[in-house]
Structure 1
Amino acid sequence: MSTTEHSAAGSEEAPAVNFPALTDVVTPFAVRCAATLRLADLIGAGSRDAAALAESAGADPAALARLLDHLCVAGLFAADGDSYRVTAAGAVLREDHPAGLRATLDLETFVGRSDSSCANLLHSVRTGEPGYQKTFGAPLWTDTVAHPELVTGFEHLHEMFGAWSEPTVTGGFDWASAKQVVDVGCGHGAVLRRLLLAFGHLRATLVDLPEIVARAEQSLGEAGLGDRVSGAPGSYFDPLPEGADAYLLSLIVHQEPHERAVALLRRCADAAGSHGTVLVMQAPVTPANRFAMTALDLRMLVTVGGRERTVDQYRDLFAEAGLRIAGQYAGGSESPVDPVLFACVAN
């Protein structure tokens, strides 16, 4: 076989890899520094020199100029002499950009702090345990409720998830036949709010940590839904309120390692009995989204010890908890990372 033939055959087996891009650590954190300092918003539509920008951002002028010089090479900013302006690509770092990325890249918010814990991925791979606690001294959820700014970032992320998953959660399952839903791991209620607004007859019970339930009750009250919800604060590994028509877990199961995920689903199955349905909303791993979802799988490992799964793996997980899939609903988005609502009943 010639060298050309060997290269062609090899390229079919292993696509070309941009190894420097794969191994770059500095650029991703440089982008996050720009987002954290809100540089795109501080520059605005025109241009600003590094000294004035540094004063507004609370940064060292020389160090900030070095950061911007690298991000100019990356294409997010452009230099005009001693001044800098935002490029079309860099506009995504503005607070009001529809992509909503600035807050998720902010190193001082919920997602940004989670990003930093990836520095301890090696610890997670060696031990199977989250690296977040090794990074910040406390588990993610303990750390989050102790810092109001992290709670705010979590709620921002939850709002994004609520909008992303709304067609899936509201569109497939027969909510008209249900009266009572238990939101297991409710967060601040972004998913439930959309569900209650879509189906005016539904009532809900909120299960989450006491601090989170209080925030959810406040948020839902501000939406005019306070008279249709009640809180049941506590761990979702404790016995759950019984007799509801549906038990909704929105992006909860993937936060837990296998044994704890089975235990959680068994709690839901016990509470639902033969009458209720356990509804699990997740984005399964598929061939089309494998790159994004395997990356998310590692993020779940390092932050909370959780994992992502394929549809078959979810089916096996449900079976271990005494459940089977009775229905499966997708929202029909064009994104390869599309949430699916699994409607599970007792075996």
Structure 2
Amino acid sequence: MNDSLLDNSSLREKISNLFVGGIVTQIVYVAAKLGIPDLLASAPMTAEEIAAKTGAHPPTLVGILRALVALEVLGEMPDRRFALKPIGEFLRSNPGWRTQAILLGEEYFRAAGDLLHTALTGEPAFDHIFGMGFYEYFTRNEAAASRFNEVMTMTAPLRYSDVTAAFDFSRAKKLVDIGGGHGAMTSIVLRANSGLRAVLFDSPPVVEGARRRIEVEGLGARCEFVGGDFFKSVPAGGDAYLLSSVMVNWDDERALAILRNCRAAMTVGADLVIAEYAMLEGRNYATSTYVAAVAALAIQGSHARSQADYDTLLAKAGFRIEKITPLLYEPYVLLHARPV
């Protein structure tokens, strides 16, 4: 090894940070799982006080708390009490990022730990670790499914903040949201377009969760809830069909099946709107975006498609892309397509 590399403190720090990334994830997960940010929201506490309330091992907890201080999640006061810092506020139960930290630290972390399997086979490590696919796992694990749906709902306003500016939904009378989950995207579009009605389509158990959420928001009268399987068919009669964070979760064969079912349900004048994770050529993305794309491949078998990929996929399904608009939350884009 070049001795000058060992003498370069900046490079040593960078490689050290790369090495400990997985441990950082687990430290943040432990803090969230034990509810430490929630405990500290009202007042600072000593390590002993936190340990007493969480059941943690006091001497070990001190080391974890000081690591959280180094990560700027917590601060340590002169009297040895620990206090919440602004980053730590994200890990509270409200606004809800605690749920995401737990999801990342449990199922996602286990799958990402077997990334080598994905690299060697091209198959999701999640399937290899858990013995079933991502969505099948959530149908069998209610607590994990609840966390996943909460995270998707919570982050939707961030991911899709400018979707209604990127496409004019007011020209449609009936929107069909395919794979709409618990209805976060449906709600965003309905609130922005008072004359619009919607059909939220997803698997029957998911649809029931969506019904409860959308009714609480006061939008239930403008939304129909339909359970089914988008690999078999989707509801007909919409003026606009919406797919948000759906295509990325499936390989080309299954993504094509969904698109062809949409095409079969659509009239020639209907619009297809896809709000999706895409890596456009010629754009530089944040480091976290590239890392997240690899993680998504290992966990969900997700594919961060390019514009050329979407051109090919949509053409095979009987669509032509009218416009692609990059959204504020990278690397999401809005694709507007029409049947041909």
- Same fold by TM (over 0.5)? yes
Aligned partner of 1:10 in structure 2 is: none
Among 296, 310, 326, which residue is 2:292 paired with?
296
CA contact (8 A) 1:92 1:102 kept: no
After alignment, is 63-72 or 113-122 more displaced?
Answer: 63-72
Q: Secondary structure at the match of 1:194?
A: helix
User: For the structure 1 residues 87 and 227, does the alpha-carbon distance in structure 2 shift closer, same or farther, using more than 3 Å as the test?
Assistant: closer
Among 144, 150, 156, which residue is 2:150 paired with?
156
Aligned partner of 2:114 in structure 1 is: 120
User: For the structure 1 residues 111 and 323, does the alpha-carbon distance in structure 2 shift closer, same or farther, using more than 3 Å as the test?
Assistant: farther
Aligned partner of 1:315 in structure 2 is: 311
Aligned partner of 2:100 in structure 1 is: 104
Aligned partner of 1:134 in structure 2 is: 128
Aligned partner of 1:43 in structure 2 is: 40
User: For the structure 1 residues 217 and 77, does the alpha-carbon distance in structure 2 shift closer, same or farther, using more than 3 Å as the test?
Assistant: closer
Shift of 1:51: 2.5
Q: TM-score, structure 2 length as denominator?
A: 0.85
Counterpart check, 1:344 vs 2:340: no
Aligned partner of 1:175 in structure 2 is: 169
> Which runs of at least 4 in structure 1 moved beyond 4 Å after TM superposition?
78-82
Q: Secondary structure at the match of 2:236?
A: coil
Q: Secondary structure at the match of 1:30?
A: helix
User: For the structure 1 residues 273 and 110, does the alpha-carbon distance in structure 2 shift closer, same or farther, using more than 3 Å as the test?
Assistant: farther
User: For the structure 1 residues 17 and 47, does the alpha-carbon distance in structure 2 shift closer, same or farther, using more than 3 Å as the test?
Assistant: closer
Aligned partner of 1:12 in structure 2 is: none
Aligned partner of 1:61 in structure 2 is: 58
Shift of 1:225: 2.1
- What percent of counterpart residues are identical? 26
State the AA in 2 paired with 1:317: L
Q: TM-score, structure 1 length as denominator?
A: 0.84
RMSD between aligned alpha carbons?
2.8
Aligned residues between the structures: 329
After alignment, is 80-89 or 223-232 more displaced?
Answer: 80-89
Question: 1: distance between equivalents of 2:214 and 2:225?
Answer: 11
CA contact (8 A) 2:51 2:58 kept: yes
After alignment, is 42-51 or 56-65 more displaced?
Answer: 42-51
The correspondence of residues 52-91 of structure 1 with structure 2, limited to 5 A, is 52-79=49-76, 83-86=80-83, 88=85, 90-91=87-88
State the AA in 2 paired with 1:105: A
Shift of 1:115: 3.1
